[in-house]
Chains A and B, each alone.
Chain A
Amino acid sequence: MSAIYILWLRELKRYIRSRVQIISSLGQPVLYLLALGFGLGPVFQRAGNGSYVQFIAPGVVGMSILFMCVFSGISILWDRQFGFLKETLVAPVSRMQIMLGRTLGSATVATFQGLLVFIVCLIAGFRPHSWAALPQAFLFMAMVAITFAALGTAFGSVIKDMQGFPIVMNFMVLPMFFLSGAIFPLANLPTALTVITHLDPLTYGIDGLRGSLIGAWHFSFGLDLAIMSVIALAFLSLGAYRFSKIQL
């Protein structure tokens, strides 16, 4: 247990100490919120869908969590390069504990980043339909964070150098974000896109988050929660398996 704790704490310390990174990783969500939220707002409104800022804010929060998770997962690469990974891998603790400590650490950090972005959204004019639903939104943020932190760990365990990183970003992470319904409603899509969006794990996290925050569900609370739990378990297993296979 103490091994999990100390590695979790390490991720937190790293996050808090890199203030530049915190601010710079706020840049992208803010850009999405401003450029898309306000830029496409009039079109969205004319189409009869209401405020686009209201719509996209939960998607942007989800996105910032997803990206943060993947970046933390990739930090395994830096640890491999600077050698710290070895220090943990020869210690008399199981790989499972090391993986859990790291993954829960990134998840915590990503959730915190999501909260920061949420505050930015509030400043930009976003209003949740009910403040009482915030704990429920937080639950979905945490679930998205754990799920994708585990996936990040799996990525970080598989790719061996930084050249692999753009592949992960362009073929896994960005599609997952763009095809999740974070920036467009899931109703009335072409069949192919409907199928793809339903296969995207992030879809259910974003829907849960959006449902909790603005009361507009595509699926339902129960379904989102159930599917997210299953995916979280699957990705945690995948992450643990890949991490256990790391060879130095």
Chain B
Amino acid sequence: MIRADNLVKTFGDFTAVKGISFDVKQGEIFAFLGPNGAGKTTTIKMLTTLLKPTSGTIELDGLNPTLKQKEARRRFGIVFQDPSLDNEQTAYENMELHGILYHVPRKVRAERIETLLKLFELWDRKDDYVKQFSGGMKRRLEIARGFLHTPKILFLDEPTLGLDPQSRNQLWTHVKRLNETEKTTVFLTTHYMDEADRVAHRIAIIDHGKLIAQGTSAELKVSTNSDSLEGAFLALTGESIRDESASSADGMRQMAKMWRR
């Protein structure tokens, strides 16, 4: 369903992703783990047409997303690391807008919005502005939105960042259910090893732009002689702490906090 072959991305003289290859099967939940700055988000951006790979090939459902951008985009949904909702519109309007951008026919759209909002327990709040939602509700809405156009693949980039255990739990329950009922292939990144352990069928670990291990959670534990996935992860990636430079968007976000807009 997702195939990456020798994928490379360089920014100037910095190589963020250094020739990674992997293959995700249809209906699989695939976790992509790595320390900060390892190249996870860059890889997701390449897979979702937001960045062009410097070299290497990608195949999504048999399509090359660099060449057939629009067709590829219809086939996947994405939940970004940071929120991407329109705060000034209601939950329903956000769903509606997404449905229209993804060419979901009107009748199907209305039905699917209702089903998904009910499933994610947001139907009672559908006419409230998103800016009044808590972090957990916003995340649920984003994931519901990601499923709206019945994508074959759903990308989740650290979807549980900043959520309490209750919300995280519930979120993964829903994702798992939709993965089973709609056969959606899920590609996720997270820093919570227990989540990856519980949800993912297969796991890949990336560090310094290279894939350093791949396999089921059990396989990774055995190969590193650890009793937990976290232990395996630390054994593979080391204990040192990575620093990422802040982007202009981070600066803006801080400004916005100051202005409370």
Contacts and interface: CB of A to CB of B under 8 A. Distances in A.
A13 interface: yes
Given A161-B248, A162-B255, A248-B45, A92 B103 contact: yes
B70 interface: yes
Contacts of B70: 92-94
B64 to A, nearest CB: 15
A84 B84 contact: yes
Interface string B179-217: 000000000000000000000000000000000000000
Contacts of B261: 78
A146 to B, nearest CB: 23
A13 B80 CA distance: 25
Given A86-B80, A87-B84, A92 B73 contact: yes
Nearest to B145: A87
A83 B73 contact: no
A81 B261 CA distance: 11
Contact of B98 (A14, A81, A87, A89): A87
Nearest to B87: A82
B102 interface: yes
Contacts of B71: 92
Contacts of A81: 249, 252-253, 256
A160 interface: yes
B249 A90 contact: no
Interface in B39-92: 45, 48-51, 69-71, 73-74, 78, 80, 82-89
A237 B172 CA distance: 45
A18 B86 CA distance: 14
Given A83-B84, A90-B49, A3 B249 contact: no
A17 interface: yes
Interface in B86-136: 86-89, 93, 96-98, 100-103
Contacts of B12: none
A91 interface: yes
B238 interface: no
A191 interface: no
B98 A90 contact: no
A166 B219 CA distance: 56
A94 B256 CA distance: 29
B165 interface: no
Contacts, number: 83
A244 to B, nearest CB: 12
Contacts of A83: 80, 82-85
B88 A92 contact: no
Q: Is the interface of A mostly helix, strand, loop or mixed?
A: helix
A203 B32 CA distance: 56
Contacts of B51: 247
Interface in A66-94: 77-94
Contacts of B45: 248
A248 B255 contact: no
A238 to B, nearest CB: 22
A218 interface: no
B101 A3 contact: yes
A188 interface: no
Nearest to B45: A248
B119 to A, nearest CB: 20
Contacts of B80: 83, 86
Contact of A160 (B78, B96, B248, B256): B248
Interface string A12-25: 01100110000000
A247 B49 CA distance: 11
B103 A82 contact: no
A87 to B, nearest CB: 4
Nearest to A91: B101
Contact of A6 (B50, B97, B249, B252): B97
A130 interface: no
A221 B14 CA distance: 56
Given A17-B88, A81-B253, A162-B255, 11 more contacts: A3-B101, A5-B100, A78-B261, A81-B249, A81-B252, A81-B256, A83-B82, A86-B80, A88-B101, A92-B101, A161-B255
6 contacts: A81-B253, A83-B82, A83-B85, A93-B70, A161-B251, A162-B255
Interface of A: 2-3, 5-6, 10, 13-14, 17-18, 77-94, 160-162, 247-248
Interface of B: 45, 48-51, 69-71, 73-74, 78, 80, 82-89, 93, 96-98, 100-103, 248-249, 251-253, 255-256, 261
The 9 closest A-B pairs by CB, nearest first: A83-B84, A91-B101, A92-B73, A81-B252, A87-B84, A92-B70, A160-B248, A6-B100, A92-B74
